[in-house]
Amino acid sequence: MNHPEIAGITRANEGIQGISWNILGQVYVPKSRTEHSFSWHATFPVGTFVPPHIHPDQDEYLYILEGRLDFFLDGAEEYATAGDTVRLPMGKPHGIFNKSQQTAKTLFWVSPTRRLYDLFWAIHNMREQNPDDVVKLAAEHNIHFLPPPPGA
């Protein structure tokens, strides 16, 4: 499926086509989408997170705009603050957590787009975003969540 980019400007507080998604308590606003690349702005309220998962066929990046996010990166714990770029290569497990006391904002992008845009629509449209159903839906879109660590 080809999604050619249209020249133009996506305004600061808007998503393409006015889209805004609620994903696991975060707000995702898509900024651009082609078959090669997909970007979105994400707002992580205090205490929200994306559990550890793997993108087998996408590279993912974050540019931290505001606040601090903690990461589980390929087995290690790291953090990033405003101005940092986070690189999440395909096939490497990663999780994203706002453990700070303030909202964090970041620009995400993946390459290639694959089915991530469709997954965000599917999660947003769920009546209840309970973890088991989100994990199953993600697997159908080739995003694979890791089982929780022992004792979690």
Tokens representing 86 are 């986070």
Query: What is the reported pTM?
Result: 0.92
| Beta bridge partners of residue 53, listed in sequence order | 94, 145
Instruction: Give the DSSP letter string of 80-94.
Output: EETT-EEEE-TT--E
pLDDT band at 85 (very low <50, low <70, confident <90, very high): very high
Pick the closest to residue 116 from 80, 88, 74 (CA basis): 88
> What whole-number distance in Å separates Cα of residue 125 and Cα of residue 22?
9
> What whole-number distance in Å separates Cα of residue 84 and Cα of residue 75?
20
108: pLDDT strictly greater than 90: yes
pLDDT band at 140 (very low <50, low <70, confident <90, very high): very high
Q: What is the pLDDT of residues 15-56, one digit of tens each?
A: 999 999 999 999 999 999 999 999 999 999 999 999 999 999
CATH 2.60.120.10 fits 16-114, yes or no: yes
